[in-house]
Amino acid sequence: MRALCDLLPCQERASFLGTRIRAGLLQSLEHLIEVNKSVLGVNYLKGRTLIEHLNLARTVKLPGLFYALNSFLLQATSSRQTQSIYSDISILFEIPLLEEIRYFNFTERESDNKRNELLRKYILFELPQEGDISEPATEESEKTKLLIKEALKLISECDEETYKEIIEFVSEFMILKTNVLKAGSSFDLYGLIFINVANADRGVINMVDLIIHEVSHLYLYNLGIEDPLVLNEYEEKYYSPIKERERPMLGVYHAAFVLTRVVRFLRILRKSNLLNFLSDILEIDTLIDQYYKIVSDSLEIVNSSAKLTNLGRDIMQSTEEGVKS
Amino acid sequence: MEMQNVDVNFSASVDSQSQADLSTDVVLNQDLSDVTFDPTKTLFLKNKLTTTSI
């Protein structure tokens, strides 16, 4: 198994980390259900039974909203939001459990209100206040879904370890409509990648880029439950070459790592015989040049101003070696 | 593929224990003043930046 600091994807490591975070989530939910026993009523027993079941059904992928509910319960328990705990725990029983990756649309039915409140809270984190998400049109979302599947097929044909890591880490692709992002991921929605339906017209290389990018974020989020990686205060802001605005150091750090992984994959794809169109080759060349520059600038900022843990430093070393190779 | 059998089995086991249901009023009158959680048993990120998007 590759070391945790190694830039290169590894199915065995991803499986280990996926099992660890899954067990950590179930333990956490079980504990939060137990400490809130007095306010949960019948949902106390339902919750305990569900966790017991999921501890045995190890191949079942946990939906991103389970992580959101865990984060919400932590905060609600601390701030004693009795009513919210009582009502929102029901989210646990409303989400389908899966053995394979689930593709679904963000929907705005009244019955989705509680879930959407959590989705909005975590998706729109750090984004401008006027930003919002909404339900995509069916035709466009179907096109996006097909494009995601086409991208996954191309990734699997190009680099097996990258593909297997994706399968280990991703539980859901949620398609949404928004004017503030192309795609994203969150520790609070771990395993769920949200993708803007506007990508439907951007082609497969763009989708490959987005998927590798977001799964690399998930990798760092996974490590972040044991090791903060970056010790700079959240309130300290630094110029982010990818966002072209000020961000916490962890944002600059993440960008260096994820874009190096994208560059690495695109270099392999560029050398393969899997590309049929000159336009795809040209798009890859442009992306590699663009990301190489952003990574170089980001590494300069990290090297000059970041306070890193030992693992955080080793990951950056592997990143620097990876982008230069 | 959705795990329909998971939902079915799960519902069946819960139904048998559902006699302990409480009314909303009763539940909302409970207070959490004695509720604390053990951070070593909970899952959270050791950093405040929890979402990233492009």
DSSP assignment string, A224-260: TTT--SB-S-TT-EEEETTTTEEEEHHHHHHHHHHHH
Structure tokens at B2: 């959705």
Asked if B47 and A77 count as a contact pair (C-beta separation under 8 A), the reply is no
Q: Is the pLDDT confidence value at A120 over 70?
A: yes
Residue of A nearest to B33 (CA): A80
Q: Return the domain boundaries, chain A.
A: 227-325
Cβ–Cβ gap A181/B54 under 8 Å: yes
The ipTM is 0.86
Q: Is the pLDDT confidence value at B7 over 80?
A: no
Helix (H, G, I), strand (E, B) or coil at A175: strand
> Mean pLDDT for chain A?
95
Q: Is the pLDDT confidence value at B46 over 70?
A: yes
pLDDT of residue B28: 41
Q: Which of A94, A102, A189, A93 is nearest to A145 (CA)?
A: A102
Looking at residues A213-226, what average pLDDT do you find?
97
Q: Enumerate the β-bridge partners of residue A61.
A: A98
With 0-12 CB in 10 A as exposed, 13-18 as middle and 19+ as buried, what is A111?
exposed
Cβ–Cβ gap A41/B10 under 8 Å: no
Side chain identity, residue B49? L
Helix (H, G, I), strand (E, B) or coil at A177: strand
Nearest to B53 among A49, A57, A184 (CB): A184
Q: Which of residues 4-33 of B touch A (CB under 8 A)?
A: 6-7, 9-10, 13-14, 17-18, 20-22, 24, 26-28, 30-33
- Give B32 to chain A, closest Cα distance, Å: 6
Over its C-alpha atoms, chain A yields an Rg (Å, rounded) of 20
The model's pTM is 0.90
- Distance, CA of A72 to CA of A53 (rounded, Å): 22
Q: Is the pLDDT confidence value at B22 over 80?
A: no
Cβ–Cβ gap B53/A127 under 8 Å: yes
Q: Does B40 touch chain A (CB under 8 A)?
A: no
Q: Is the pLDDT confidence value at B3 over 60?
A: no
**H or E element that contains B51:** strand B51-53
pLDDT of residue A127: 81
Please state the separation of Cα A147 from the chain's center in Å: 18
Q: Is the pLDDT confidence value at B24 over 50?
A: no
Looking at residues A233-256, what average pLDDT do you find?
96
pLDDT of residue B34: 57
Structure tokens at A84: 């919210």
pLDDT of residue A6: 95
Task: Find where tokens 């987005």 sit.
Answer: A210
**pLDDT band at residue A325, thresholds of 50, 70 and 90?**
confident
Q: Which of A18, A75, A73, A29 is nearest to A51 (CA)?
A: A29
- Between B1 and A219, where is the model more confident? A219
**pLDDT band at residue A98, thresholds of 50, 70 and 90?**
confident
Q: Which of B27, B3, B41, B49 is nearest to A83 (CA)?
A: B27
Asked if A49 and A7 count as a contact pair (C-beta separation under 8 A), the reply is no
pLDDT of residue A96: 85
**H or E element that contains A41:** none
Which DSSP state fits A114?
Answer: H
Cβ–Cβ gap B38/A229 under 8 Å: no
The per-residue pLDDT for range A64-85, each reduced to its tens digit, is 999 999 999 999 998 888 888 9
